[in-house]
Each structure stands twice: as C-alpha cells, then as structure tokens.
Structure 1
Amino acid sequence: MSSILTNNGAMVALQTLKSINSDLADTQSMISTGKKVASAKDNASVWAISKVMEADVKGFEQISDSIAVGQSTLSVASNAAETVTDLLTQVQEKVVNANVPGADTTKIQADIDGLTEQIKSVVSAAQFNGQNLVDGSGDISILSSLDRDASGNVTAKSINVSGADLNVGGYTAQDVFGGNASGASTAGDVFTTSLAAGDTTGVTLEFDDATGTADGIDAGFAAGDKVSVSIGDQTVSYQISADVAALSGTQQTDQIAAGLKSAIDALGITDLEVEFTAGVSGTSASTLDFRVADTDGDSVSSIGKDTAITASFTNVGSGGLGALSSIDVTSDASGALAKMSGLIDTAVNAAASFGSAAGRLESQADFVSSLTDSLKSGIGSMVDADMEETSAKLQALQVQQQLGVQSLSIANQAPQTVLSLFR
C-alpha cells in the first residue's frame, strides 16, 4: 500500500542516516582527540579507572622529583665524607711524622690544626636544600613510593637515610668578660680605659664550680676537653687530662685556671699582670684577674684599650670526630696516633653508609621511572584510539553516509509515483 501521509521507506532511511552520522561524529572525535574514551559518557568504567591511574602517574612524577632531591643531598654528603676521610688520612701522616725522633712537633701541630679547621669547613658547608647529613643534625626521610591497596587506599612509603656526625667538636660556649678596676664583670665588655702613668684597669674571669653563682665557665670537663683564653689576637689553651677530669668542683677549676695563668705568663705580654685566686667550694669560683698597667713607664699600655678577654672551651664529646680536637702531638704524639684509626673508621663508615643509601635511591628511581611508563602505557591501551582502525572506519562511514543520503533521497521520491495513478 502506498501512502502520501506515511513514508516508511524514508523513515527507515532517515534513522539509518542518523546512526551513520552519529558513528561518524564519534569517529571524527577520536581522530581529533586521539582517544576512544575522552569523557565519562564514552565509557564510565574505563574513564574512572584511567583517571585514578593518571592521578597515580602524577604522584609518581612528584616522587621522582623527591628522589632526585634526595640523591643530590646524598651526593653532597658522600663527597663530604670522602673528603673528610682524605683529610684525616693527611692528619694521620702528620701524626706519624710527629712520632719520628727529632720531629718539629710544633710545626706539625700547626699543620694538624689547619687540617682540622678544613674538616670543620667541609662539614659545615655540606648541605643541600638546607639539609646536612654529616653534621649530626639527624636523619632524612625521602618519599619513594605510593602504595595503593585493593580498596583504593593510598599509603606513602619513604626511604630513611641515616645521617652521620663528622663534627670535630666546637666552641660550645663562648663568653667575653670585661670591666674595670672596680671589679664589674659584664659579658661583652672590653678594656675601655686609656691608661696614664700608674693607672690600672682589669677584668675577672670566673670558672664556675657548679654553684650556679658565677658568670664564667661551668666545671665538669671530660678528658680531652680544651679551655682557651684569647687576649686580643693571642690565644692560649689548656687541655684537660684524665687526672684533672677526675676532679670535681673547685679542685678541677683551680687546676684549669692555674694552668691557663702559666700559659698566659709565658706569652710575655708587656703591661699585663694575671693573678690566680683559688676557689672555695660552694662559696666562690676559681678566678683569673687580668690587670693592665703602665709597668714600663712609657704611659702607653702594650694592650690596646679595646682589647677583649675571650674565654671558650671545646667539648671533644660534641662530635663524632670530637677526639680530633684533643690531638696534641707536642705533648702526646703516640696517644694521637692511637686515636687516628678510630677517627678514620668513623669517616669511612659514614661514606660507606651514604654510598649504600645512594644505591637504594638509584634503584628506586629506576623502578619509579619504569613504573610510570608502564602506567602510562596501561592508560593508553584503555583510552587511546587505534588510529589505523579509526582511519579505515572513517572512510567506511563516509561511504555509508553518502549511500544513506542517496537512499533517503530515493525514499522521498516514492510518493511522486502516486501522481501517475491520477493521470
């Protein structure tokens, strides 16, 4: 039956053409975006999985940056530990030379002191991004992975790198004591009086006997600790022996103060008089009184009016290489040699530990890089369009579209045949 009101053939041709146009639009979208799943409406399940994996990829890319920073920090620390090892080896050579009969131990000690200062400089400078692994400040934790369980919960994993303590020890206390003839003693003061003939001015340096009443240096030193007093640009030191370390209270501080007085007197500073006063336990501290006077009658003191008296001490136990600061080949060359093996072992162990950690980070960096590539490949296999297949499909759909248009055109002409029935 023919009808001019209902054209079934045209409706079928139109629906077919619409379907072809829809498929053609999808194919063109794949070609323009390169994806077969570009949004959730394309395939909600695959799209959701791909977005989770893309988030993981972004996370692992940040982890790669974290590991790179950790590797740089370790590299600096490793280089520092190796440099310190080399410097300690040089110190050991000096110590061995000091044990040779007739060696100039004073000059050798000066070389050792210079190498010690260089070690301090290396340890202090060995930081990256504000982190120093060789100064004993602590360990670092480097983000190394993101673990996702079956429920989708993510846990961050880290590689902990243990720091080393290659500090030589340092000035753990430093005070400047000054004042005037009236006996005032205030940290930071200096000799401020211009001396005329017969005038005097002075300061008092107090060695606290642990009563808590003095403003000087506390007692309680260990063997190998060193107490120093600087007068202007000249410095003398007194190293604590085991016998002195065994003493307590004013017995210990008396020994220290008296030893420093002898060393200062040996400097032969014109116009300077140093007087030692023994302390009384629980009552007064051991003191050194510094008096500057015009003793040679020229109305001018050999010590400038702005000269400061500086007292400080080095605690050998404050660093992993603290024993280095107690080495003194001028008084105990054989004892210094005995200490060197342990010091070198400390530096070598630190360098070896950093090397091992660097190996772990390198392996983890390679794994994270490979894992990131695998995740990207997996995402691509789910959402990327097969361009060869899509290209062939596009051409087929274009032909189908042309045929669909032709079919619709034929179907639309069918009612025209009804007119021939009325001629």
Structure 2
Amino acid sequence: MSSILTNTGAMVALQSLKSINKGLGETQSMISTGKKVANAKDNAAIYAISKVMESDVSAFKAVSETLSMAESTVGTAANGAKKIGELLVEIKGKITSASGDGIDTQKVQDDITAMVGQITNIVDSAQFNGVNLLDGSKDTDGFSALASLNRSADGSVNNDSISLATADSNLSTSSGTALTVGDAAAGVTGTEVFNVGNQDNSGASGIVDGAVTLTAADGTATTDGITIGGFDFQDAAGATGGLSARAADAAGVDTASVAALVAGDVMTIDIGNTQARYTIREGDTNGDVSSGLRTALLDAGLDTDKTSVGVDANGFLQISNLTTDDVEVNISSARASGGLAGLDNLNVVSDLSGAQADIETFIQNVADAEATLGTTAKRLSIQNEFVSTQIDSFKQGIGALVDADMEETSARLQALQTQQQLGVQALSIANQAPQSILSLFR
C-alpha cells in the first residue's frame, strides 16, 4: 500500500542515516582526541580504571625524582668518603716513614695535621641540598628515600623506603654527645680526686666530668693539686667494672649507655688555656688513659714550669699548680660519634706506635662507610631504573585501555563516510517515492 501520509522507506532511511552520522561523530572524536575512551560517558568502568592508573603514574614520577635526589646525596657522600680514604692512605705512608732514621718527625707531623684538616673540610662539605651523610648530622633522624608505591587488590596503598644506616657512614672527626656529669668530691688532704667512670667519691652515678680551680701554690683556701683517675670501663656484660676499654662494637657493649667508658670515647682536659684530647683505644687501662692525657697536654704546649703533670703508681693523673695564680682545670668525656673521632690526636712525635695502630682503624672505618654508601647507592639506582620501567608499563597499560586504534579508526571513517553518502541517496530516493502516486491521478 502506498501512502502520502506515511513514508515508511524515508523513515527507515532517516534512522539509518542518523545511526551512521552518530558513528561518524564518534569516529571523528577518536581521531581528534586519539582516545576511544575520552570520558566516563564512553565507558565508565574503563575510564575509572585509567584515572587511577594515571594517578599512580604521577606518583611514580614523584618517587623517581625522590630516588634521583637520594642517589645524588649518597653519591656525594660516597665521593667524599673515597677521597678521605685516599688521604688516610697518604697519612699512613707518612706515619710509616716517620719510623725511619734521620726523619724530622715534626715536619711529618705538620704534614699529617694539614691533611687531617683537609679531611675535616671534606667531611663538613660533603653535602647535597643541605643533607650531609658524613658529619653525623643525620644520625638522629636517619636517612631514607621513598622507593615505591604499592597498591593492593583492595585498592589500599602503602609505601616502601630505602634507608641508610647513617651511623655507619658517619666519618665525623669530632666527638659526640657529652657523657653524664657528676660531682668532684674532696679526697685526701691537699688533693681532689676525680673518679671518671661509674662513680665519683661521693657515690654519685654516671661518667664524672667536672672542673676545679687550683689556687696559687701558697694559697690556703683550697688545694693546689688534683688527682684524676678511677676510670671505669664497660665489662663483657655491658656493665661497669671493666679493667680495660672494650671495642665499641664488641659483644655486650652498649654504646647508648653512659655508665662506663668504651674504646672511641674522647677525654678532653683543659688546664688554663691549654686544651688536650685523648681518644680511648681498645685495651686501654686506667694508666694508659692517664698517660695519654699527660702526653696530649705536653704536646699541646702545657707550660710545665707553671703546671706539673704526672702519673702515679696507681695510674692516676696528678696535676699541681706551681704558680702564684689560680689555675682552672676542667675534664670532660664524650661518646665518640664518628668513625674518625680522634683522628686529630695522631702524633708521630710523641706516640708513633699509637698512631700506627689508630690509622689502621680509621682506614677500616672509612672502608666500611664506603661499603655502606656503595650498597645504598646501588639499591637506589636499581630501584630508580625499575620505577622508570614501571612508569612505561603503566602508560602502555593505560594506552591499551583508552587509546584508539588509528588504523581501525581510519578504515571505519572511510566506511562510515561511504555509508553516509549512500544513506543520503537512499533518503532522497525514499522522499521521491510519493511522487509516483501522482501518476495514478492523471
């Protein structure tokens, strides 16, 4: 049946053309954006997944930047440690040469002092963006770098970090935190006794540090001499009562404790304007420490015409004021914080054998620090490479989800354009069909 009111063919052609035009619009959008899922309307599930993955990519880029910063920081410290190791080897050579006949040991000592100063400068300047892994400034807070972003199946996210044991890379030449201060108590008439160790004469606990004023030799108000001794070392159980200094890393040694002395602790003594330091060595006894302090004072230029220093039969350091002026004496102790603590005490003039023993320890400490820094640098480099490849993998995954296949889209575009032309012709033919009805009325 033919009708001039209802043109079924035109209606079918029009719907087909609308469908073709819709597909053509979608295809043109894919070509212009390069995406088959450009918004949530295209595919809500795929769009949501892609957005989460894109946020992870952004986070991974931040992780990569953090790792790069950490690599530079650790690399700077490693370069500093390497140079320090080279200088220590040179110092070792000079110490060895000082044992030869006819060598001016004072000139050798001057060279060593200058090189120790250079080492201190390297330690202080081995920083990147204000972070120094050699000077001990990070020992309290530690050092770590964000290494990865981990998303579990339930959508929760947690982070992993790469940490560096900064205490192992600490090459500071200075001593650490001052140990507990106790009281100096009056001892034998005319003498004050400092028991530097677990107890002083009054029974107070803690490493005893203190100061006392030696009055003029002819004064009557107080004493004109003191005896410093009673050094208390950690024993094998980590308690007080040891007879000699144990290594700071030996079994049972508690370096966090301030109850007794261990190898590496630094004793500092001031007599008037003269200051000297002695670093306790493994195996040191009470007499060794007293002798070390005495030698350090003499090397520091103590005027023995004004102040006498000696070690008695008990291994105690005796100090007497020989002048008519008051003299202040101060003794303090500190837990060593760095692997090079006591380096500036090397002295081939007064203690060649001690310098030979100490330099070996310093070289080993630097080697250990280099190993720690090298291991951490390797981990950071590997992780940064992995994060970089992970970013690429995520981008590929996102592309597979939302990117348009341009070859397919191009072919589809041409097909739709052809269909559009045919659809227009079909609609034109369908619209002309009612014209044939006029022939029935001629």
Q: Which residues in structure 2 correspond to 1:22-421 (within 5 Å)?
A: 22-136=22-136, 137-138=138-139, 139-163=142-166, 164-170=169-175, 216=211, 225=266, 227=268, 237=276, 239=278, 246=286, 266=303, 315=334, 317-421=336-440
- Whole-angstrom CA distance in 2 between matches of 1:261 and 1:338: 21
Contact 2:177 2:335 (C-alpha < 8 Å) held by counterparts: no
Specify whether residues 7 and 105 from structure 1 end up closer, same or farther in structure 2 by C-alpha distance, changes over 3 A only. same
Specify whether residues 21 and 258 from structure 1 end up closer, same or farther in structure 2 by C-alpha distance, changes over 3 A only. closer
1:88 positional shift: 0.9
**Matched residue of 1:66: which SS?**
helix
Contact 1:17 1:404 (C-alpha < 8 Å) held by counterparts: yes
- Whole-angstrom CA distance in 2 between matches of 1:17 and 1:368: 50
Specify whether residues 262 and 326 from structure 1 end up closer, same or farther in structure 2 by C-alpha distance, changes over 3 A only. closer
CA offsets per residue over residues 193-221 of structure 1, 9 Å max, x none?
Answer: xxxxxxxxxxxxxx999789x98489979
Aligned AA (1:165): N
- Whole-angstrom CA distance in 2 between matches of 1:327 and 1:108: 11
- Whole-angstrom CA distance in 1 between matches of 2:408 and 2:440: 50
- Whole-angstrom CA distance in 1 between matches of 2:121 and 2:52: 49
Specify whether residues 346 and 257 from structure 1 end up closer, same or farther in structure 2 by C-alpha distance, changes over 3 A only. closer
Aligned AA (2:88): L
Contact 2:135 2:172 (C-alpha < 8 Å) held by counterparts: yes
1:25 positional shift: 0.2
Instruction: State the partner residue of 1:299.
Output: none
1:93 positional shift: 1.1
Contact 1:230 1:310 (C-alpha < 8 Å) held by counterparts: yes
1:236 positional shift: 5.8
Aligned AA (1:412): N
- Whole-angstrom CA distance in 2 between matches of 1:266 and 1:396: 105
Aligned AA (1:80): G
Structure 1's unaligned 5+ residue stretches are: 174-206, 277-285, 293-308
Contact 1:169 1:318 (C-alpha < 8 Å) held by counterparts: yes
Specify whether residues 315 and 336 from structure 1 end up closer, same or farther in structure 2 by C-alpha distance, changes over 3 A only. farther
Instruction: State the partner residue of 1:202.
Output: none
Greater fraction of residues in helix: 1
Aligned AA (1:398): Q
CA offsets per residue over residues 346-365 of structure 1, 9 Å max, x none?
Answer: 10111122112212222111
The aligned length equals: 359
1:226 positional shift: 5.7
**Matched residue of 2:37: which SS?**
coil
**Matched residue of 2:372: which SS?**
helix
**Structure 2 length as normaliser, TM-score?**
0.69
1:261 positional shift: 9.2
Contact 1:257 1:288 (C-alpha < 8 Å) held by counterparts: no
- Whole-angstrom CA distance in 2 between matches of 1:290 and 1:151: 81
Specify whether residues 83 and 422 from structure 1 end up closer, same or farther in structure 2 by C-alpha distance, changes over 3 A only. same
**Matched residue of 2:336: which SS?**
helix
CA offsets per residue over residues 15-36 of structure 1, 9 Å max, x none?
Answer: 0000000000000000000011
Check if 1:422 corresponds to 2:441.
yes
Contact 2:269 2:293 (C-alpha < 8 Å) held by counterparts: no
1:344 positional shift: 0.4
